[in-house]
Amino acid sequence: MAEHSIKRVPVIKVTHLVNDETTDALAIEEPLEIRLEYGEADNRIIKNISVTMRTPGHDAELATGFLFTEGIIKNSKDILVADHCFIACTENKENVIQVSLREDIITNLQNTERNFYTTSSCGVCGKGSIDAIRTVSAFTQPVNDDQTITSEILHQLPDKLRQHQQVFADTGGLHASALFNLSGELLLAREDVGRHNALDKLIGAALNKNLLLNQSVLLLSGRASFELVQKAAMAGIPIIASVGAPSSLAVELAEEFDITLAGFLRDKRFNIYTAAHRIILPVYETTY
């Protein structure tokens, strides 16, 4: 993915005493149009349902995860094929992904009342309303209440993720989402210029690999927003940890769906905002 995700540009590097002409590595940002093909054999419909600004790579996973977290498909088996514009296409096919559903899949695009246009910085911005997102969240998978992780293992996750952030190491400009098992083993990691795209790629890959999302821990390289918690809720992920801060609405949604949410996971510390029973703390760490 790295070679297709980085662009080198000339820059003037300014320091205190020296100005040097050199090059800098930037994370590539390009639009991706997601098209959906559905319906019976004699009445197939092709509809453009989303345009998102993303970092090229893992586009089929992004589309799969997006359709799943929006409640349009139930699992990856609903999909016959997902490929770059595999039906007649005159435009840049690398920036168009078409997902063909099985004929027996009944598609209700009214599950979400949203304008399917998103940007890399804000996946919620294109939605019609917060109520529309909550409507989609009503289709969430049941969260497993028996999964626990120790604080010692939780502390190790950011370092393990950084070791696998290849493009971030080169550019410093990408968000990452990762899945770990409860023993702290990295299962999958995905990067993107958009935090919501990184998570869609991750969930799409997990669905394709039949990973048990309801027995996993999700780590976010930045802050935990409402939409990221909503996507995790759709996938039935019981534990979310973020390196940055959660938003107030993210905390409210995590509490509503009994998801364990930890924030500021760095430098051997973190805050637990909801469902603390899934994180096992040493006695000396408990001060309440």
End-to-end CA distance of the chain: 46
Burial category of 189 from C-beta neighbours within 10 Å (exposed 0-12, middle 13-18, buried 19 and up): buried
- Tokens representing residue 52 in the block: 């998102």
pLDDT-based confidence at 65, cuts 50/70/90? very high
Q: How many CA atoms lie within 13 A of 270 on its CB side?
A: 31
Confidence (pLDDT) at 85: 72
**Is residue 125 annotated as part of the catalytic site, yes or no?**
no
Query: What is the structure's pLDDT at 171?
Result: 53
Residue 237, pLDDT score: 94
For residue 169, pLDDT over 60 is answered with no
Q: Which of 85, 89, 122, 125 is catalytic?
A: 122
| The CATH homologous superfamily of the domain defined by 149-285 | Cytidine Deaminase, domain 2 (3.40.140.10)
Q: What is the 3-state secondary structure (H, E, C) of 177-230?
A: EEEECCCCCEEEEEEECCHHHHHHHHHHHHHHCCCCHHHCEEEECCCECHHHHH
- Chain position carrying tokens 């899949």: 105
C-alpha torsion sign, points 183, 186, 190, 194: positive
Give the mean pLDDT of the chain. 83
Residue 140 pLDDT greater than 80, yes or no: no
**How many other C-beta atoms lie within 10 A of the C-beta of residue 160?**
16
What pLDDT digit, counting tens, does each position of 183-236 carry?
999 999 999 989 999 999 999 999 999 999 999 999 999 999 998 999 999 899
pLDDT at 50: 87
All structural domains of the chain with their residue ranges: 30-137, 149-285
> Does 254 have pLDDT greater than 80?
yes
Neighbours of 10 (CB within 10 A): 8
Average pLDDT score over residue span 150-173: 80
**30-137 fold:** Ubiquitin-like (UB roll) (3.10.20)
Is the pLDDT reported for residue 97 higher than 80? yes
Please state at what angle helix 59-69 crosses helix 226-235, rounded to 10 degrees.
90
| % of the chain beyond a pLDDT of 70 | 80
d(CA 285, CA 287): 6
Handedness of CA 218, 220, 257, 111 (dihedral sign): negative
Q: What value, to the nearest 5°, has the Cα angle with vertex 223 and ends 217 and 224?
A: 55
CA distance 104 to 102: 6
